[in-house]
Every structure is written in C-alpha cells, then in structure tokens.
Amino acid sequence: MEKFVPILLEIAYVVMGLQLLHTAYCAVKDESNDTRIGTGLFWAILGVIFVAGSYIPSLVTGILVVLLALLTLFKQVKIGTLPAFKEEKAEAAARKYGFGIFVPVITLAIVAFLVARFYPKFSSVSLGIAALVATIVIVVITRAKPKELLAENNRMIQLTSTSSILPQLLAALGAIFTLAGVGTVISNLISGFVPDGSRFFGVVAYVLGMVIFTMIMGNAFAAFTVITAGVGVPFVFALGADPIIASAFAMTAGYCGTLLTPMAANFNALPAALLDMKDKNGVIKVQAPVALIMIVVHIVLMYLLAF
C-alpha cells in the first residue's frame, strides 16, 4: 500500500495545478482586468509548477518562482471581475441547508484525522483524500454542478491572490536560513544582551525571539528551527530546562507572533480578503491584545514549568 503514496501525492498536486491553470485561463479571458496577461501568467506558472514540478529541474523551478515574485513586485497580479455574488441566492441556500452546510468542512477534518491516525503511511496525502471526500459530500448535499465548482474555485483563488503561496515560500525560506547558519548568527547577537547563566532572561529571549522571528517569517514552523538552534539550546536548554516543555511553549509562543503579522497570510490576510474587509489589518488589530497577553503568559509558564 505504501507504494501508492507517491502516486496519490502526485495526483493531488496535478489536480491543484489544473485548478490554478483554470484560474489562469479565466484571468486571461477577463478583458476588464488591465493586468490580465500578468495575472494569467502568474497562475499559469504556479499551475505548471504543481503539475510538472516532479519533472522540472530544480533550477528551472527556482527561476519560475523568481518570475512569480517579479510579477507580484511590479503589481501585475490583480483580482479581475468575478461572477456577481447574489445575496438573495446565498440567503435562500443558508435557510435551506442550515448547519448542514458545515458538514463538508467537518468531514474534511475528520477524514484527514482518521487517515493520518489509522494509516500513518498515508499521512502525507490525508488532506488530499479528505478534500476529495468533502467535495463529494458537498456535491451530494447541494447538488452543485461541476461548472459551479470551477467558478467558485476561480473566485477563491483570485480572492486569496498572491498571499496564498506565502506559507510555502516562507517554509522554504526557514529551511534556507537554517542551512545558512542564521541560528548561529542570532546566538552570537543574543549573547551580548542575555546575562550569563540567567534562566529568566534566557526564557524571555527564547519567547520573544520566536514571536519576532515568526512575525518576520510569517510561519512559526520556519522560525522554530532557527530560534531553537540559536537561542533555545544555548540560553535555555543548556541551563537545565526540559527541552520538550520549553520547545512546546516556544512553538505556541510563535503563534502569538502569527497573530500580529500580515506575513501570516493564511491567518490574517486571507480572512480580510475573503470577507472583503475595508481595513486589511482589521484581523490583526482585533487579535493584538490577546497576543500580547499570551506572550507574557508564555514567559511565565516556560520559566515556571520548564525548569
């Protein structure tokens, strides 16, 4: 069974790539968008990477990613004219399906968990399998036509826009930082501020380091390896802290940084885009007080429980 995992993973990537290529097609057709060529090219390049990434040389993929960055830098990627959203139809559907409309979302989470739990070898494709099952469920519940699925796919991708690929890019950046020895550089910088042998200031540096670096990276996982190597090991673990407890608090401290940065696009930028909020930082402003309180809580708990 394990031999099918790479095949299923490849199928999932191809399906995602085809969705992106469909969005590219829709973008190029949208004559109301003055950057339709750039927008279409952006999604087409991304689609090609997903569809043929396994067969394209790494150097070529890297060049394509740079092209994506250049298209974004020169503002050649914009949301075009999307199909009109009919409020009356949406309200009628809400009354008809009620809480049943959440069944596909719950199905997605449950199936992904069950596959990963009982078939660990399939954990890397659990989300893809769950997405397929959830799609079937929503089609059965709503009787949606394939054309509607494509239209909503295009709407969702264009609304999330370029920020949708930030998590992947930031995770890759974290790996590069680790290989480049950024953790060592940070360790050398921190050593000048943290008193030698001070557990408390070591904890403060570890927690704040995770928060700040996560705000910069937009990804707590990417920040964790760098900050743990540069701050956690020499200034916390070396003083007798339990690595498991301290690491757990460090990771969740990173999520406090996630609440405070637009770089965490999937948490903060996407909701603002999907809800069409006037204040693009509105989500962050609401979350900020809670995040600041939780930073203090993390410092206290790590200091009391890790040693």
Give me the DSSP letters along 211-264: HHHHHHHS-HHHHHHHHIIIIIHHHTGGGT--HHHHHHHHHHHHHHHHTT-TT-
pLDDT (tens digit per residue) in 55-68: 999 899 999 999 99
pLDDT attached to residue 155: 85
Q: Are 85 and 59 in contact (CB under 8 A)?
A: no
Within a 13 Å sphere around the CA of 133, how many CA atoms are in the beta-carbon half? 18
User: Is residue 187's pLDDT more than 80?
Assistant: no
- Rounded CA-CA distance 215/197 in Å is 28
- Rounded CA-CA distance 188/201 in Å is 15
Can you read off the two tokens belonging to residue 230? 């540069």
Q: Where are the domains of the chain?
A: 1-162, 164-304
- Rounded CA-CA distance 270/262 in Å is 10
Q: How confident is the model at residue 275 (pLDDT cuts 50, 70, 90)?
A: confident
- Rounded CA-CA distance 90/88 in Å is 5
Closest CA to 288 of 307, 260, 262: 260
pLDDT (tens digit per residue) in 87-131: 777 777 777 777 877 888 899 999 999 988 888 888 888 888 999
- Rounded CA-CA distance 200/306 in Å is 11
User: Is residue 289's pLDDT more than 80?
Assistant: yes
Residue 85, phi-psi category: left (phi > 0), alpha (psi -120 to 50), beta (remainder): beta
